[in-house]
Structure 1
Amino acid sequence: MVDPVMLLAFVPAGLALNLTPGADMAFCLGQGLRSGPRAAIAASGGIALGAFVHTLLAGLGLGALVATVPLAFEVIRWVGVAYLVWLAVQTLRHRAVTDAPPVSAARAFRTGLFVNLTNPKVILFVLAFVPQFVVPQAGSVLGQFLIFGAMLSLGGFVINGLVGVFASGLGQRLARGSRVLDWITATVFVGLAARLAILERA
């Protein structure tokens, strides 16, 4: 059971974090611009699930591996960088070959999940943030991690999804199939890759 006082303190702190612009929000914005509201919401769902998985791993203590073993951090990080660059290249390459359709909701969900899971900073953040609100005397530590993680994930899902939906309105006003959308989306992916590439472990 979560301590009620800590729960009251966690809600505004978690909301503030969800509202802070970051990689997840930028990714959903790019999906909304390029593929519409369904893809944006699906991408936000994938990111939310990834964040919850990170919380589960942190609660199980596996996050300590990423925090203490440099190689584990680097492998995960560079897999994420390579994937984001690949997404950027594919976005431009497919349009150059054919008038590719927008990304499906299922694919947006999978991509959002993978992008989040390959960002090792997320689990390090969870390890630094969530324990501040965990009270061992209140019950299962893992249970408290999961409750707080679910709250963070739900808040992020709603906020990032809304950002993507609003962005989709802008995308729809641009000409369908416009190269501008492809370049914007590719730029978002490259920017996220660069951000991930220069991250430090602490």
Structure 2
Amino acid sequence: MAEPLGLLSAVLAFAVVAASPGPANLAAAGVAMAAGRARAMRFALGLALGLFFWGVLAALGMGAILQSTGWVLTGLKVAGGFYLLWLALQSLRAARGTDTTIAARRAPRRLFWSGLMLNLSNPKAVFAWMATLSLGMGGAGQGYLLLTVLCCLIGLINYIGWVAFFSTGVMMRAYLRGRRWIEATVGLLLGAAGVSLLRSSATQ
């Protein structure tokens, strides 16, 4: 089993990283404000499942294989970068529109798949998982399993928290007042993340 101190350090480090305003959290906030809590929760579940996928991959040791296989990692980064740019374009289009946003019109099932694809398109997540697992390393098997489960729960709670906060009446009214600026800002941030991922693939 992992040592309690190492496990606690790893969990706290993962919680800080998970709560930071990265592409997934910003997208969750945007969907929550535009589409409401019920729809955005499906998006959050998709994000959590994508996070779980990378966590299991890292715990099984396949993250190290992925990191050492240059062409596979490069391909994932390119695909992820273009997907983030596509999401950025959707937000920028919504900022220019005068009707309901794309997120609000999207079917609940599509929101789930959008959340899943957003986290699956970020291969950098596997490196964060590998760093977390190395912090909590004190053994094999059960230690990795416990840490992976705890971090997956933290990720899920984090996404639910972002959705719950940004789908409140106050935040949704603020969104309606500043919809264009909010969608444009989210689009620019997602676009910057996509460009960063593409640049990272070029230097791989």
Same fold (TM over 0.5): yes
Q: Is the 8 A contact 1:55 1:146 kept in 2?
A: no
Corresponding residue for 1:196? Answer: 197
Q: Structure 1 vs Structure 2: percent identity of aligned residues?
A: 25
Paired AA for residue 49 in structure 2 = L
Paired AA for residue 117 in structure 1 = L
Within 5 Å, give how 1:17-166 maps onto structure 2: 17-91=17-91, 102=104, 103-136=106-139, 141-166=140-165
Over residues 22-51 of structure 1, what are the superposed CA-to-partner deviations in whole Å (9 max), with x where a residue is unaligned?
A: 232222122223222233332222222212
Q: Matched residues in 1 for 2:56 and 2:175: separation?
A: 41
Deviation of the 1:77 alpha carbon: 0.9
Deviation of the 1:154 alpha carbon: 1.5
Corresponding residue for 1:13? Answer: 13
Q: Matched residues in 2 for 1:173 and 1:179: separation?
A: 11
Q: Is the 8 A contact 1:171 1:181 kept in 2?
A: no
Paired AA for residue 146 in structure 2 = I
Q: Is the 8 A contact 2:47 2:159 kept in 1?
A: no
Paired AA for residue 23 in structure 1 = P
Q: Matched residues in 1 for 2:90 and 2:21: separation?
A: 25
Match of 2:167, SS state, is helix
Q: Matched residues in 2 for 1:198 and 1:39: separation?
A: 33
Paired AA for residue 53 in structure 2 = V
Specify whether residues 117 and 144 from structure 1 end up closer, same or farther in structure 2 by C-alpha distance, changes over 3 A only.
farther
Structure 1 portions without partners, runs of 5+: none
Q: Matched residues in 2 for 1:132 and 1:174: separation?
A: 39
TM-score by length of 1: 0.78
Q: Is the 8 A contact 1:52 1:153 kept in 2?
A: yes
Specify whether residues 144 and 154 from structure 1 end up closer, same or farther in structure 2 by C-alpha distance, changes over 3 A only.
same
Q: How many residues align?
A: 198
Paired AA for residue 159 in structure 1 = N
Q: Is the 8 A contact 1:92 1:182 kept in 2?
A: yes
Structure 2 portions without partners, runs of 5+: none
Q: Matched residues in 1 for 2:45 and 2:154: separation?
A: 11
Q: Matched residues in 1 for 2:150 and 2:20: separation?
A: 16
Q: Matched residues in 1 for 2:181 and 2:16: separation?
A: 32
Greater alpha carbon shift after TM alignment, 36-45 vs 114-123: 36-45
Query: What's the Cα RMSD here?
Result: 3.1
TM-score by length of 2: 0.77
Over residues 143-164 of structure 1, what are the superposed CA-to-partner deviations in whole Å (9 max), with x where a residue is unaligned?
A: 4323212212221222232223
Over residues 175-200 of structure 1, what are the superposed CA-to-partner deviations in whole Å (9 max), with x where a residue is unaligned?
A: 49x55554344334323323323347
